[in-house]
Chain A
Amino acid sequence: MARFDHAVGRYVYVDLDGLTYRMYFEEHGQGIPLLLQHTAGADARQWRHVLEDTGLAEHFRMIAYDLPYHGKSVPPAGKAWWAEEYRLTRDTLMDTVVAFSQALELDRPVYMGSSIGGHLAGDLARYRPEHFRAVIGLEAGLASPGGYLDWWYHPKISNESKASMMMGVMSPIAPEEFRRETAFVYSQGWPQAFKGDIYYYCVDHDLTDEARNIDTSRCEVHILNGEYDYGTPPSAGAALAAEIKGSTFQEMKGLGHFPMSEDPERFLEVIRPVLDGIRTRSG
């Protein structure tokens, strides 16, 4: 008898800025929609462990998607993407997630993401609060300047090097098989994707002067940063949360920059109460 995962994958067509994107996603569960955003240069495989959680699936329709140019979401037709440098901007990223949610006809989903996805949580709460009942930013911060480097897309540097550097932002006490799997996913991205995504992470995301304007009565904000994340350490998440009245912050002990994939069990122990609280307040 075959053994299957609970998550099922399919494609949806998303219209945005005059182009049509064929976006891949995997989902499991029913109830409150919960969008799960991957990190820079990676894809939705980072959420495969969380997607299998049967407890969360009782109350949440978990949906992990690949951004365009990532994973199974191939570039759109009608654009010479191969002749220009890929660069992810804040507006494009926000609009993509909102358009994807609308294509699936979701009713004010909960949003959760890590790294670029963590930064995006704050931006969505600031600029697109009407579309989300709550956002959860993992490895989030006000800004992360200084890391937009040519080395991230260089003909003499392989994706293996980028993957190896990601090992360094993970927790050394996380199970090695999951850390290696996280790096494996990183090694497979489109060579341009990581640098292009880092443009958003390091340049276009900056809530330094705007975070205080986030209204958590319209959209809840929860920030959680891993102890071993040296790029956006717990102090960065705490600084962001301190600017947002009504937000929550938690340091995730023993976790790093990829909590959902490097140590899923430890992460689930931390995130279940956060999601339970959102569900309770959602009525």
Chain B
Amino acid sequence: MGVLGMQGFATRAAADGEWNLTARFWTGAIAVTVGDDTTVIHLDDGHITAVDQARAPAPEALTPGSTDVIITVPPDVWAAMLEDPPRAHYNDLQAAQYHHGLEIGGDELTKYQYYPALRRLLELARAERNGG
């Protein structure tokens, strides 16, 4: 099953110039939990080493407080965020955090440092969902 829009993430990200620039030097993981499904993207020095599909919540391998970021989204909100174009306040992670119950957990410093990569992750997931 897996998280909507994340099935082909590794391939899509590896070929994406913006992702490769914005994720550089990141060693850690990104977990995207939508309802009962979680996708975990493992990174080593900015390169994706594995993308695991798991049942929610995020696996114990993730370590809040390290350089991991955990995004938790209600399924209906995530589906709206993947619309193209998205409606107002579904277009961005922080917008959905403010208005629609999305949560960004894990390491806060890493979230701020790598917000450009997290923002791109959403755009790549939206492109995957819509065949862009």
**Which residues does A use to contact B, with CB under 8 Å?**
151, 154, 156-158, 160-161, 163-165, 167-169, 171-173, 227-228, 230-231, 233
Complex partner residue of A161 from B88, B89, B115, CB under 8 angstroms: B115
CA distance A16 to B93 in the complex (A): 41
Q: Is the CB of A168 within 8 A of B94?
A: yes
- Interface SS of chain B: helix
Q: A156-B109, A228-B91, A230-B95 are in contact. Are A172 and B116 (CB under 8 A)?
A: no
Q: A228-B89, A230-B89 are in contact. Are A161 and B95 (CB under 8 A)?
A: no
CA distance A158 to B112 in the complex (A): 9
Q: A168-B92, A169-B95, A230-B92 are in contact. Are A161 and B85 (CB under 8 A)?
A: no
CA distance A160 to B113 in the complex (A): 9
B86 within 8 A of A: yes
Q: Is the CB of A172 within 8 A of B86?
A: yes
CA distance A95 to B94 in the complex (A): 34
Chain B, residue nearest A229 (CB): B88
Given A168-B119, A169-B95, A230-B94, 20 more A-B residue pairs with CB atoms under 8 Å apart are A151-B112, A154-B109, A156-B109, A156-B113, A157-B112, A161-B112, A161-B115, A165-B94, A165-B119, A167-B92, A168-B91, A168-B92, A171-B91, A172-B85, A172-B86, A227-B88, A228-B95, A230-B89, A230-B95, A233-B88
Cβ distance A152 to chain B, nearest Cβ, rounded Å: 9
**Which residues does B use to contact A, with CB under 8 Å?**
22, 85-86, 88-89, 91-95, 98-99, 108-109, 112-116, 119
Cβ distance B98 to chain A, nearest Cβ, rounded Å: 5
15 A-B contacts, Cβ less than 8 Å apart?
Answer: A151-B112, A154-B109, A154-B112, A156-B109, A156-B113, A157-B112, A164-B22, A164-B115, A167-B92, A168-B91, A168-B94, A173-B85, A230-B88, A230-B92, A230-B95
Cβ distance A131 to chain B, nearest Cβ, rounded Å: 35
Chain B, residue nearest A234 (CB): B88
Residues of chain B within 8 A of A158, CB atoms compared: 113
Chain A, residue nearest B83 (CB): A172
Cβ distance A224 to chain B, nearest Cβ, rounded Å: 15
Chain B, residue nearest A163 (CB): B116
Residues of chain A within 8 A of B86, CB atoms compared: 172
CA distance A157 to B108 in the complex (A): 11
Chain A, residue nearest B114 (CB): A161
Residues of chain B within 8 A of A227, CB atoms compared: 88
